[in-house]
Structure 1
Amino acid sequence: MPPCDKPIALEFFAGGGLARLGLSGQFNVAWANDLDAMKCRAWRENFGAQGLVEGDVADIQVNDLPPRPALAWASFPCQDLSLAGDRAGLSGGRSGTLFAFMARLAELRDRGDPPELVVLENVKGLLSSHGGRDLAAIFRALGELGYAAGCLEMDAAWFLPQSRPRIFIIAVRQGLAIPAALLSSPDLYSPDRPCLFQTPAILKAQAALPDALNWFVPAPSKPSASFDDILDPKDTSWWDADKLAIFHQQLNDKHRGRLEALLATPGRHIGTMYRRIRREGGEKQQRAEIRFDGKVGCLRTPAGGSSRQFWVVVEGDTLNIRPINPREAMRLMGVPDSYHLPKGTLAGLKIAGDGVAVPVVAWLSEKLLAPLLACARP
């Protein structure tokens, strides 16, 4: 279907356009907004300038939004909600911008043009932020705007070799007759259509939200991509002997034993490494922690000593280590190599670390959003 024939989606907090890539199979992302100048440059370079508004979501005018939007997507800033952050919640300056987005939804409603679907995406910390009060506030705000909503927890690890659990709040206009095929049992362990993405954390959070919808999205097949598909063979920035010596010093006994076992095992083994600050013996120690389970840890924005991840390649008795580069980070997000990276290592890593995994969005779009819209626009 040509883009102009697809239902219109609005992409708030668009970043580098990763949600757009996932939505494009079912929707025409005709309008987008972000405040970050670097991300907007990347968005324009990949998708053109038409439809992108650079600036604060609070300054968006409703007349700037295209008519008859079917979907409003908002991957709103997670810095104040993340389990790795200070947990300021929705009172924090960045995640508090969510309610500026809600104000735009109210203006669309008052214009007589509310989108049939709304999706909010954020980190898992949203479920427990301020003891669940932030999540309840979001559901209450959506209800006041005329929407019924439910949550899913979807991990990129079902699609890609990256552990990246994210919370998706999917909201529909109240009164929509939702087919039973799109709803699951509220009991994860019931034989009556349990949903993989209705995790125990989701069930616990929604137990405090009596009107929450229990969405059903089928499980995908296991991811086909492996680290061999991700590694860039042209990147030769492997560590020298001095850096490797420091790495060995930063291993604790558990991780040193794991590495020594791999060095004694024939074949090629690819893993990853994070640097962590651990308290040992009453003192803080920087530790190198390795994993060889076929997944990288959740990609983060390049800020702080533990935010960068490194490849650890063991082949015979040879050890090689180097940082994950921006192209590899994008591959770990499901972004095709045709995507033009911004200049500078940190810029590319920031887009990946702040982004949403493309195949997760595509799966949600195909299996839930498009069928819901078909009911709303028969």
Structure 2
Amino acid sequence: MDELNLFEGMKYGMKKRTLKSIDLFAGIGGIRLGFENAFGEGIETVFVSEWDKYAQKTYSENFKDDFSIAGDITQIDAKDIPDFDICLAGFPCQAFSLAGARKGFDDDYKGMCRGTLFLDVARICEEHKPKVIFCENVKGLVIHDKGRTFKIITKTFEDLGYKVFYKVLNSKDYGVPQNRERIYIVAFRNDIHSDNFTFPEPTDTNKVLSDIIEEQEVSVKYYLSTVYLDTLRKHKARHAAKGNGFGYEIRDLHGIAGAIVCGGMGRERNLIIDNRLTNFVPVTKIKGEVNREGIRKMTPREWARLQGFPDNYKLALADVHLYKQFGNSVTVPVITAIAKQIKLILDQNATKIQ
């Protein structure tokens, strides 16, 4: 056995142990994908929870597990979840979003308090005491209710025996052309020496939209009709007259996209000009004609690339679901960069922790 392999063998007791993770509020698996990129075969997902049936379908298309995806996490006993080392949790952000009502812990929706779903993360982690808890949320979480909401969240993890780190990072600094600020929370169990943990520095700030657009001509269905385009222009003009900045936006292919979101004006705020269309015959029912200015929405594959998903990630559902899913998802390269920093700490502590 050479020196390097001998050292690795001593470090991990002759066999490096595979870390087990759970994926809560899993969406379409963006956080899991980022951690798998960073840890490789050193991580294994043992439990997944996601209540949206369409997200479940996309997840199942792309991750072949030998267990079923669990539904509503509030109905699952923590004792029924297998033991794990890392908790991945992109808990729902609606209650904390700057764009929403910002009711926080009082935000009741369909009988569930979205603002308190993070408490299910705490409930499960209290039972299993994993080495690491990783969470992602909207930037507005930090300032919600004058910072009290975030203080409760961090104190909850501290009371469970964790040291908490957090930082707002922007996706545009990590290899994707999207201006998307999110807060990332990393909590290490107190018996893990984590004082030297740092969030990653920017890895690639040079990507632009031309780097991620489809290589071939896209379907005419993504091109706006003349009537719809006229409606968008009038809507924007009305708001402009009131001094508001609402409305559609055409992005420069040499620039970056605004944050993609799950619905509303998400697509219309990130229009592009693509003059490669050769067949202007509509394939869906539209009012007017297909515009001749080359103005179109980005495709679901382009949204996937804006979030850093690889091109072999399968997009099996209808566009309406895919736009929602990628708008709700995470930026994979940001997750990967953070996960690598987490791995450094765990590797440094490998001989000390169980």
TM bin (shorter chain): 0.7 to 0.9
1:65-80 to structure 2, matched below 5 A, reads 65-67=81-83, 69-80=84-95
Q: Where does the alignment leave 5 or more consecutive residues of structure 2 unmatched?
A: 1-15, 108-112, 276-291
SS at structure 2 position matched to 1:130 = helix
Counterpart in the other structure of 1:11: 23
SS at structure 1 position matched to 2:257 = coil
> Which of 207, 224, 233 is residue 239 of structure 1 equivalent to?
224
1:259-274 to structure 2, matched below 5 A, reads none
The answer to whether structure 1 residue 352 and structure 2 residue 337 are counterparts is no
Q: Residues of 2 paired with 1:360 and 1:102: CA distance?
A: 24
Closer, same or farther: CA 342–86 of 1 in aligned 2, 3 Å: farther
Moved more, 225-234 or 352-361: 225-234
Counterpart in the other structure of 2:285: none
Counterpart in the other structure of 2:49: 33
Counterpart in the other structure of 2:144: 129
Counterpart in the other structure of 1:151: 166
The answer to whether structure 1 residue 278 and structure 2 residue 239 are counterparts is yes
SS at structure 1 position matched to 2:141 = helix
- Report if aligned partners of 1:310, 1:321 keep a CA contact under 8 Å in 2: no
> Which of 167, 176, 201 is residue 160 of structure 1 equivalent to?
176
- Residue by residue over 1:133-167, the C-alpha shift from the partner in whole angstroms, topping out at 9 and shown as x without a partner, is 01110111101110010111111111200111110
Counterpart in the other structure of 2:349: 376
Counterpart in the other structure of 1:178: 194
- Report if aligned partners of 2:208, 2:256 keep a CA contact under 8 Å in 1: no
Q: Residues of 2 paired with 1:16 and 1:124: CA distance?
A: 21
The answer to whether structure 1 residue 297 and structure 2 residue 263 are counterparts is no
Two-structure CA RMSD over aligned residues (Å): 2.6
Q: Residues of 2 paired with 1:310 and 1:225: CA distance?
A: 13
Q: Which segments of structure 1 move beyond 6 Å, counting only runs of 4 or more?
A: none
Counterpart in the other structure of 2:212: 229
SS at structure 2 position matched to 1:319 = coil
Closer, same or farther: CA 286–219 of 1 in aligned 2, 3 Å: closer
> Which of 98, 102, 107 is residue 127 of structure 2 equivalent to?
107
- Report if aligned partners of 1:326, 1:349 keep a CA contact under 8 Å in 2: yes
Q: Measure how far apart 1:236 and its partner are.
A: 3.0
Q: Measure how far apart 1:324 and its partner are.
A: 1.7
- Report if aligned partners of 1:117, 1:373 keep a CA contact under 8 Å in 2: no
Q: TM-score, normalised to structure 2's length?
A: 0.78
- Residue by residue over 1:229-279, the C-alpha shift from the partner in whole angstroms, topping out at 9 and shown as x without a partner, is 323534232234444444554555xxxxxxxxxxxxxxxxxxxxxxxx837
- Residue by residue over 1:283-340, the C-alpha shift from the partner in whole angstroms, topping out at 9 and shown as x without a partner, is x8973334436111111112x345644432177xx73111222111111111112112
Counterpart in the other structure of 2:63: 47
Counterpart in the other structure of 1:24: 36
Q: Residues of 2 paired with 1:363 and 1:64: CA distance?
A: 31
Q: Measure how far apart 1:61 and its partner are.
A: 2.5
Q: Residues of 1 paired with 2:274 and 2:314: CA distance?
A: 31
Counterpart in the other structure of 1:118: 133
Q: Residues of 2 paired with 1:248 and 1:140: CA distance?
A: 47
Which letter does structure 1 place at the counterpart of 2:137? N
Q: Where does the alignment leave 5 or more consecutive residues of structure 1 unmatched?
A: 109-113, 183-214, 253-276
Q: Measure how far apart 1:5 and its partner are.
A: 5.5
Q: Which has the higher strand share?
A: 1
Q: Residues of 2 paired with 1:28 and 1:53: CA distance?
A: 15
- Report if aligned partners of 2:177, 2:256 keep a CA contact under 8 Å in 1: yes
Counterpart in the other structure of 1:201: none
Q: Measure how far apart 1:39 and its partner are.
A: 0.8
1:181-192 to structure 2, matched below 5 A, reads 182=197
